[in-house]
Each structure stands twice: as structure tokens, then as C-alpha cells.
Amino acid sequence: MKGDIRCMSGKDKATVSMVLGVLGLILAVTGLGFVISVILGIIGLCYASMAKKDGYTGNERTMGFIFSLLALILGVIVTLVFIGVVAFFIDGVVNGNPYFYKIFPPYLNRWK
């Protein structure tokens, strides 16, 4: 069947892995889609693995694996940092965390 993943060659799967890895890295670095970069990193790693199973060991597969792995790691780190910042902000506003008011300007004290 045309368009089926089983019909793709190892080189095509490696190319898909590299493209997904680069897109994931761009999204993670810019902060626009750090959760999407995690998903693209996982899918890119799967395609790199499938390319290796097909016997393709060219540079596209290696770069796809590296880019996808970096997108996955960076996406997870940025996601955790984002969750930490949001949790810190919510804790500072709701519970009156003193560190929150030391970091942010005094006009935020009206929320106390």
C-alpha cells in the first residue's frame, strides 16, 4: 500500500527522524512548543530506531537520533522549569511567599 510506513526505506525513516528532531529542537529552544518538542523527540527516536532495524546506518539516522534525543531532553527540562515558575508564582500570590515579594517589585504587594 502506498504511503504505508512499512514501505518506507531506512533512509526515508532516517530523514523523517532528522526533520522531527530539528523541529523539536527549534520548538524547545524558542519556548513556543516545549511540550510538542517532547512528542516530536519521541517520534523521531522511534523513526531512528526503525531506520536502524532496516539496516540503514548513514549520517541521517545518526543526526536524527541525536537531534531527537536533544529535543526530548531539552523539552523535558524546559517543561519542568515552566511548571516550577508557574508553581512559584501561584505560591507567591496565594500563600504570600516572602521570597516571591523579594524578587518581584513592591507593587505586587497589593495581592497580599
Q: Where are the domains of the chain?
A: 5-111
Q: How far apart are CA 44 and CA 97, in angstroms?
A: 41
Predicted TM-score (pTM) of the model is 0.78
Q: How far apart are CA 39 and CA 98, in angstroms?
A: 37
What pLDDT is stored for residue 103 in this prediction?
67
pLDDT in tens, 51-107: 999 988 889 999 999 999 999 999 999 999 989 888 877 777 677 666 666 666 666
